[in-house]
Amino acid sequence: MNFPSKLIEDAVNEFSRLPGVGKKTALRFVLHLLKKEQSDVLQLSDAIKRMREEIQYCKICFNISDGEKCSVCSNSRRDERLLCVVESIKDVINIENTNQYNGRYHVLGGVISPIEGIGPEQLHIDQLIDRVKNENVEEVIMALNPTMDGDTTIFFISRKLAESKVRISTLARGVAFGGDLSYVDEFTLARSLQTRRPFESYLSKQ
């Protein structure tokens, strides 16, 4: 694609590095921005710059944060007995948006993956063990993605935590709300049959 201006070309090239954005979409973004007020465009440019330059990671849980401690760790009303272990910041955002969890988090920064060459030492596992030792944690909720690597990581961490008497739990696996049983794979269906629950307990949790 040829562009009548080097400035446009640069902007299109930069936009097209974003995930899922090709040259055509990038050009659409650029032509859209050209029509907008200059102040609006500078706001976008500035938000991107500040986000990358000023962002910090919480010293305790490795969540993204505007300061040294993230908004969850610095909130004294969050239950410090519950610790939810997640893979990435995205999972923190997802769980926060359920409005159902009032404990704290620990962001691993990935999962153990021999294929991708990610070992336990590259993740924040040691820090997790230290937190469980030193903080008042009663239950560690392993909210990792339900994959082979996720399960390996849960197993690895659970062995490391075996000495401490902390309770370890994982997310319930089963059929999703609004799903269709014919599209559920047999492992999930088998597991959800084995771990079936009395209907009353389901109602009382609502």
Contact residues toward its own copies (CB under 8 A) are 1-8, 10-11, 13-15, 17-20, 25, 27-34, 36, 38, 40-55, 63-66, 70-72, 88-90, 92-93, 96-97
When the beta carbons of 96 and 138 are compared against its own copies, the nearer one is 96
How far CA 105 is from CA of 32, 72, 140, 151, 162, in Å, comes to 39, 8, 9, 18, 20
Q: How far is the CB of 94 from its own copies (least distance, A)?
A: 9
DSSP state string for 12-26: HHHHTTSTT--HHHH
Q: How far is the CB of 78 from its own copies (least distance, A)?
A: 12
On whether the CB atoms of residues 165 and 158 are closer than 8 A, the answer is no
When the beta carbons of 25 and 192 are compared against its own copies, the nearer one is 25
User: Which residues fall within 8 angstroms of residue 101, CB to CB, at 6 or more apart?
Assistant: 82, 84, 95
When the beta carbons of 53 and 116 are compared against its own copies, the nearer one is 53
When the beta carbons of 42 and 162 are compared against its own copies, the nearer one is 42
Q: How far is the CB of 1 from its own copies (least distance, A)?
A: 6
Burial class (CB in 10 A: 0-12, 13-18, 19+), 175: middle
